[in-house]
A and B are shown apart, each in its own frame.
Chain A
């Protein structure tokens, strides 16, 4: 029986973690995502499923705990908001370099610096272009509802383990804080050490037994030649992810002459904007990327023949718009509309921007 519950986005992350068989969560308080750790501490999953939950001394420590747990082959995660995610970048690049699966949740707030505690989408570059040092990528999922906050925990882990790569849920203060109805899934049991080895192979540090060589989790290689080979392997993995894991949603695109591209809470604003614009006779549709890496470039390209213009709507100075332009490659005019610093655009503002940039121009 599907269980329905009214809950906050952040609470949905916590509940999903417990139910999908997560082994460990390590976090540090920061607004607007503290409810993840608070909910877990109140739920006491260590009694229920044996899941470890720990308030770390810093985001640096938390992400390194994730490294340690992931290196054991366990399903481990952390969550934070922008300033904390910046601190986690060190650990994230080491995790990518050691090819460890894990889940990182960013409930984005306005920046730069300490910024605001209101929602923003200004960490897009950091999430999809690497974030830390070196050539690496995260698998980035962008939920647009509390249900997706819940669903993407399990999906994030699934993809992370499939590709032995860190996955990120790139959310924002709206999705983290708002309450919506959520359909909860059944409990998946946590895997035993034997099941982990059976399912994913025996690369993790589980104690060196006589029947295998020692397992070493590291991102270090002092030889430039073999480090380049490793980098090529990583790039091939990212290409495979790009080929196989793109996810997106199209709304009212069939007859659309103009396209809005927006993810997360901006896409919710855009849905309303479409209604208003269509009321005025403007044929506009929405493409909502669900995966930000891999980006749905092909889906945008396929729509180009019917389009007169594309508006990328983001709560940032214009970050995702660069990926839209890369996909479009000059074939159609691409513009950006956004608000910054924690301000959420209204649907009317989006329609005005569309009219100003394309229809009146």
Chain B
């Protein structure tokens, strides 16, 4: 049965972006990945750039992101998406190239690649999902895991004397002259979703104007890794993540 059989055309106030495929997402209920995928799909559709967008997905929970957005994709080795995107963008300068990366991918194993791609000012957009944990491998400590936070490899909570400090990589990225737009957003309320969509639109527009690297961190939840139901996870994120990772623009040139 089609939507049209259930809801009359004039009563239809919302429909799924055409850029989203019909594949059932593998993400856990409440996971931020799904929200961000939806927003990216909407932005691509609204900007009319489906045939000009090439995405690079990471190793992490979003390794299968190419199943959900109807655009050309390259799947990267863990952490290397910015290097891959560098070549795609330089060889296809007219295309909109973005990477989609988790915190383990971007801020741990791929630190060198993200720093240098941003510092070269590669004309790409980076979407950085910071859920403070390694979701895919079963909830181990990430570089962004908060002090005291329990994970599979910090079962008594992250200790800075043992594990070092949580890494505010977006603040580092904002220092790099190659970046033109660096912002930290979230997607846990309708208002936050609207702001995030604006940010992603601006980033893609920057790519269209050849302005250099746009970098969007999305402070996110991981219900299964955090071992919390979705609503509780959102509350925990607001109370604990936002004070350490404050939302807002760090750079907009």
Contacts and interface: CB of A to CB of B under 8 A. Distances in A.
Please report whether the interface of chain B is mostly helix, strand, loop or mixed according to DSSP. Answer: helix
Given A64-B76, A71-B84, A208-B72, A218 B66 contact: yes
A305 to B, nearest CB: 49
Given A71-B74, A205-B54, A205-B72, A216 B66 contact: yes
B80 A61 contact: yes
B50 interface: yes
A71 B66 contact: no
B165 to A, nearest CB: 24
Contacts of A219: 75
A172 B80 CA distance: 28
Contacts of B95: 207
A296 B109 CA distance: 41
B6 to A, nearest CB: 28
A220 B86 contact: no
A218 B75 contact: yes
Contacts of B87: 24, 26, 52, 54, 64-69, 72, 76
5 contacts: A67-B87, A68-B74, A76-B87, A206-B72, A207-B95
Contact of A217 (B63, B73, B112): B73
A69 B92 CA distance: 9
A60 B74 CA distance: 17
Which interface class (under 10, 10 to 19, 20 to 34, 35 or more) fits A? 35 or more
A72 B56 CA distance: 12
Contacts of A57: 112-113, 115-116
A207 B53 contact: yes
A67 B84 contact: yes
Nearest to B84: A68
Contacts of B116: 56-57, 61
Contacts of A64: 76-77, 80, 83-84, 87, 113
B141 to A, nearest CB: 23
Contact of B83 (A52, A56, A206): A56
Nearest to A67: B84
Contact of A207 (B51, B77, B85, B91): B51
Interface in B116-130: 116
A72 B80 contact: no
Nearest to A91: B77
B50 A208 contact: yes
Contacts of B54: 72, 205, 207
Interface of B: 50-54, 56, 63-64, 66, 70-77, 80, 83-88, 90-92, 95, 112-113, 115-116
Contacts of B64: 220
A23 B91 contact: yes
A69 B54 CA distance: 12
B58 to A, nearest CB: 11
A217 B75 contact: yes
B72 to A, nearest CB: 4
A226 interface: no
Contacts of B63: 220
A90 interface: yes
A99 to B, nearest CB: 13
Contacts of A91: 77, 80
A205 B88 contact: yes
B70 A208 contact: yes
A23 B88 CA distance: 11
Nearest to B57: A218
A209 B75 CA distance: 19
Contact of A24 (B56, B71, B73, B90): B90
Contacts of A214: 66, 70-73
Given A24-B91, A216-B74, 16 more contacts: A52-B91, A57-B112, A57-B115, A64-B83, A65-B86, A66-B87, A67-B87, A68-B56, A69-B91, A76-B91, A91-B80, A205-B73, A208-B72, A216-B75, A218-B75, A220-B64
B21 to A, nearest CB: 9
A288 interface: no
A78 to B, nearest CB: 10
Contacts of B51: 207-210
A31 interface: no
Given A61-B113, A207-B95, A94 B77 contact: yes
Contacts of A216: 66, 72-75
Nearest to B53: A207
Interface in A59-108: 60-62, 64-69, 71-72, 74, 76, 90-91, 94, 98
